[in-house]
Amino acid sequence: MRNTLFAASLTLGFCLGACSSDMQSMSPPKQRTAPDSQKLLKSQDTNESPTAASASGTAVATSDSPTANPDTTSTTVSTPAAPIVDGTGELIAILEDCGFPGGVLPDPSVTVFQASLKSQQVSINGSKPINPAMLGLPVIPFAPPLPPANYTAVVRASVEVNASMAATKQSVRIGLEGFTVSVLGLSVPPDLGQADATTQVQANNSDTSATGPTNDERVSLIGHDGPWKGIYCTLNGSKSLSFTKNGKSKTISFDPPIPGGIWAKASPARFKAEVGSGRTFSNVKATVTSSNDSSMPVGTVVQGTVTVSPISGSLAEIGVNADIAYIIRSDFGANTVNLGLSPSEAFYVSSTTKDMSAIVIETGVTEIPRLVLSK
């Protein structure tokens, strides 16, 4: 199973660091001190009225202002101050709707999401050729081959995720929870094949890290026409993805960034405003920037499409009925899995607890095609 899977799933809003073009007149709220939200607001163009200075108590004389005789007390008459119009209040309201009290973003280095998840059990059925020696039988020349051994391996994935506003790290570990094997329809001691099964399952262990766009990049993405326009927090962006699996490591950059997951603390109204009936990220260029995997050497470029769509929040198999549910589908053709992406990831969120209720991953891997994750 390709491991990007989970991290991308649970990561938080790398997308919180910007404002859209319809709010370019925002000026920074003086009372805010959190570094990220300050940088966010300061990156906007201030659009004060020409007479705004008079609002701070400075008199502005006009050509019609009568001036008293120098020997008497000076008097000036200023034009009425025009109100300062900015979007600070609107931005703060949006960030609060995103799940940040007071509209203040946390420091980029502080962990804002941590989770341990387990998948439902997955049964893997298969067969493997055997020889008489494996069963403790004598080797007879020219004897017909034995029928293959049929086995069932029961596995479960465990996932650890740690995320800040700037980066996410996750590890996936696959455990063998049960193993049975039979030859000629008769059960035989499982140790005849369990060691091999354990090795094969653990080859799917992986480690992943993802980074999102910088604040300046986010300003550009959200403020201009394109799939990221107006998305403040509901989708997290993955600009670069590095992962290691079975001794092979690679780093992929995405242009434009792709949605890697959803931000569970955003309100239903925020999701409706930002994602609505869906978003399409087309003509995404994925470039391999480092690799020791011969199937995906450095310089490999693949184009693809990522879509985000609302789905039913009902997941009957584990009793989940979420009021926020979206699926992210990635299509880079035959290279989707080789890039470290899963064909689809479905997210089920409770707006009451502001937390993930479940994640369902279609892995694109034959042995473990589907994982249902929950806490």
Above 90 in pLDDT, residue 142?
no
Count of Cβ atoms closer than 10 Å to residue 119 Cβ: 24
Residue 318 has a pLDDT of 95
**Alpha-carbon span 150 to 172, nearest angstrom:** 27
Above 90 in pLDDT, residue 110?
no
Pick the more confident residue, 129 or 301: 301
Residue 145 has a pLDDT of 78
Q: Which residues contact 80 (CB under 8 A, 6 or more apart)?
A: none
Residue 43 has a pLDDT of 41
Q: Which residues contact 272 (CB under 8 A, 6 or more apart)?
A: none
**Alpha-carbon span 42 to 45, nearest angstrom:** 8
Residue 28 has a pLDDT of 34
Above 60 in pLDDT, residue 25?
no
Q: Which residues contact 253 (CB under 8 A, 6 or more apart)?
A: 239, 240, 286, 287, 289
Residue 220 has a pLDDT of 87
Q: How confident is the model at residue 147 (pLDDT cuts 50, 70, 90)?
A: confident
**pLDDT, averaged across the chain:** 77
DSSP for residue 38: H
Q: Which of 34-48, 91-105, 220-234, 307-321 has the highest mean pLDDT?
A: 307-321
**Alpha-carbon span 80 to 50, nearest angstrom:** 12
| Nearest Cα residue to 8 out of 237, 343, 221 | 237
Pick the more confident residue, 139 or 367: 367
pLDDT, tens digit, for every residue of 321-334? 999 999 999 999 99
Average pLDDT over residues 218-246: 89
Above 50 in pLDDT, residue 313?
yes
Q: How confident is the model at residue 87 (pLDDT cuts 50, 70, 90)?
A: low
Residue 23 has a pLDDT of 32
**Percentage of the chain exceeding pLDDT 70:** 75
Q: Which residues contact 313 (CB under 8 A, 6 or more apart)?
A: 320, 321, 322, 323, 324, 325, 348
| Partners of residue 321 on adjacent β-strands | 314
Average pLDDT over residues 56-77: 38
Residue 134 has a pLDDT of 67
Residue 218 has a pLDDT of 82
Above 60 in pLDDT, residue 42?
no
In 3-state terms, what secondary structure has residue 346? strand
Above 90 in pLDDT, residue 296?
yes
Average pLDDT over residues 70-83: 40
**Alpha-carbon span 324 to 351, nearest angstrom:** 7
Q: Is the peptide bond before 256 cis (omega within 30 degrees of 0)?
A: yes
Specify whether the CB–CB gap between 263 and 98 falls below 8 A: yes
Tell the residue number behind the tokens 């490999």, with chain if given. 300
**Alpha-carbon span 17 to 44, nearest angstrom:** 11
Count of Cβ atoms closer than 10 Å to residue 43 Cβ: 18
**Percentage of the chain exceeding pLDDT 90:** 43
